[in-house]
Amino acid sequence: MMTWQDAGQPTGSTSSGLFDGDFSWGLVLLGVVGFIALVIVCSLGFIARMRDRAAERKERDANQRAHQQAPPAG
C-alpha cells in the first residue's frame, strides 16, 4: 500500500528532512526569514515616505520664499 508521503516523493530523490515532522527548525527558520523580510520592506517604505515628505516640505518652503521675494505685479 502506498502512503501519501510515498506518493509525493519522486523516485530516486531523498528528503532533506527540513520540513518533516510536527515541530521543525525549517519552519522556524522560514518564519524568522519571512518576518525579517516583512520588517525590511516596511522599513524601506517608511523611509521612502519620510524622504518624500521632506522633499515636499522643501519644495513648499522654496515656493513660499519665491512668492515673498517676487515684486508685486502691476
User: Which residue range forms the structural domain that includes residue 50?
Assistant: 35-64
pLDDT over 80 (residue 13) = no
Q: Which residue has the cell 519571512?
A: 34
Residue 45 falls inside a structural domain:
yes
* pLDDT > 90: percent of the chain: 47
In whole angstroms, what is the distance from residue 71 CA to residue 33 CA?
A: 59
Say how many domains are in the chain: 1
pTM surpassing 0.95?
no
Task: Note the pLDDT of residue 4.
Answer: 58
Evaluate whether residue 18 is within a structural domain: no
Query: Residue 56 falls within a domain, yes or no?
Result: yes
**Is residue 51, in this structure, part of any structural domain at all?**
yes
- The answer to whether residue 1 sits within a structural domain is no
Q: How many other C-beta atoms are found inside a 10 Å radius of the C-beta of residue 1?
A: 3
* In-domain check, residue 54: yes
Residue ranges in 10-24 assigned as alpha helix (H): none
Task: Tell me how far apart the alpha carbons of residues 67 and 44 are, in angstroms, rounded to a whole number.
Answer: 35
Q: Is 50 part of a structural domain of the chain?
A: yes
